[in-house]
Structures are given as C-alpha cells and as structure tokens.
Structure 1
Amino acid sequence: MLVVEDEGAVAMLIEEMLEELGCEVVASVARLATALDVARHVEADLAMLDVNLAGQFVFPVAEVLRDRAIPFVFSTGYGASRIPAEFSECHILHKPYSESELRQKITLAASEAKRQKRSLP
C-alpha cells in the first residue's frame, strides 16, 4: 500500500492499522511533489490518499494512480464536498475513522478493482 498523509502522527496510525490488517506499506509520503513522483513508479495494490496535503489537494496523485489502474481511497476531514466530480465514485474515509472502517473501504476498493480488471478484454 501507498500512504499519502501530511500529518506524521496520523500517517503512523494509518500504517499501524494497515499492518494489523495484513497490508504491507511500500511507501509513505507527506508532500504532493513527492507523492506524484512515487505514484508514477510505486508497485502498490492500493493507496490511501489524504485529500489536503499542507494546503495542496492530492487529486493529481489520484489521476496518476487511476491512469495506472491502482485503486485508492481518499481520507478527509472536510467531507465529500471537496472531492471533484470526476472522483465521485471513489471511496472516502471521513476522519477520524476506525480500523474497521478502514478495512471495509480498502476491501471494497480492492474488490472493485479486481472486478474491473476481470471485465477488461
């Protein structure tokens, strides 16, 4: 999993929850420029994207991941109103969230990605 989160303590908590769920965190980044670079090259099955990274929105990273067919889940404390229409079908975790909510969203995102890959010609 790729974790994109600008608050260090929150990133550590997310990483711990993911590891408890049996996920391997392959990269954890806090800034948009770094996240864009990592998103272009990382080998990950799924990503967690904080919507607001120190005042910059994460949507360019989401575009890169979408183009690479890497599913992702947005996390935000602002609500779904900040999510552009092009990402309206994406899963959103509203901060603060529990480990069970995290499990549910990443399971849904991963299973939907598998279904989409199977339906491709």
Structure 2
Amino acid sequence: MDKLLSGRRILVVEDEILVLMMIEDMLGDLGCESVTSAATIEKAIALIEAQVFDAAMLDMNLDGDDSNAVADALAERGVPFIYSTGNSGRDMREGFSNRAVLRKPFSFDELSSKLERLLSP
C-alpha cells in the first residue's frame, strides 16, 4: 500500500467498463479510500460539483466526445488530474499539454508512479 495514496479520494472518468474495473482494483490496492467513477461528461461534472476529490483520472475520449469540459471543471476546482488514453497521437488540448498522460494499456507501476508525482507536495 502506498502512503501517498492512502486515504485519497479519486475520481475516475472512464467509459470502458473493463478498463474502469481494472483501474478501481489498482487504486484499491494502492490504498485509496474511495474511488468514484463516471462514464459520461454529464455525470463527471455533476460529481465534481457535488464532491471533493484529491485527484482524478480522465479518459481523453468518452464515447466519441472529448473530455475538455471535465478537464475545465477539474481545473476550476483545483483538482489535479492525469489523462488516460488509448490514442497513439498527442492530442492534448491547449492549456493542458503539461498534464501527465497514461497510455492504455498501462501497468500498476505506471499508474502508481503517475499518481504519486501528481499528489506529491
């Protein structure tokens, strides 16, 4: 269990159920207190407005739509986030090109490392 991730509340925005289940398992193994998920832009924004998260993982493409509105909502609330994507190209959006990106499929160690860097003081 990772001390830096222990007790953290993480939002995972992912529309592929098998990928989401894998991420939830990994985050649980890392000691995250709660993992909340959303598969749509609308649900993600509603959750961001209603809850407090320590960090988020954001799929760049949700059912054919880009997730820019979710990135904006996270940034407005100061929630650090990393992107995850199965796309090979570098399709980062203006203003968010400094965000860490996890390329699918990713390993437990890659996820742990990216989140640790994201949350280190």
Is the TM-score greater than 0.5?
Answer: yes
Structure with a larger share of its residues in helix: 1
Match of 2:17 among 8, 18, 35: 8
Residue 88 of structure 1 pairs with residue 103 of structure 2: no
Instruction: Name the structure, 1 or 2, with higher relative contact order (CA <8 Å, separation 6+).
Output: 2
Return the TM-score normalized by structure 1: 0.87
Instruction: Give me the whole-angstrom Cα distance separating, in 2, the residues matched to 1:25 and 1:91.
Output: 22
AA of the residue aligned to 1:17: M
Do 2:13 and 2:58's aligned partners in 1 also have CA atoms closer than 8 Å?
Answer: yes
Match of 1:100 among 86, 92, 109: 109
Residue 66 of structure 1 pairs with residue 66 of structure 2: no
Deviating beyond 6 angstroms after TM superposition, the runs of 4 or more aligned structure 1 residues are none
Do 2:24 and 2:35's aligned partners in 1 also have CA atoms closer than 8 Å?
Answer: no
Q: Which residue of 2 aligns with 1:79?
A: 88
User: How many residues were matched structurally?
Assistant: 112
Instruction: Give me the whole-angstrom Cα distance separating, in 1, the residues matched to 2:57 and 2:35.
Output: 12
Residue 22 of structure 1 pairs with residue 31 of structure 2: yes
SS at match of 1:106: helix
More deviation, 13-22/79-88: 79-88
Return the TM-score normalized by structure 2: 0.87
Percent of aligned positions that are identical:
42
Q: Which residue of 2 aligns with 1:118?
A: none
Runs (5+) with no aligned partner, structure 1 = 115-121
- Aligned-residue CA RMSD (Å): 1.2
What are the equivalent positions in structure 2 for 1:29-68 lying under 5 Å apart? 29-68=38-77
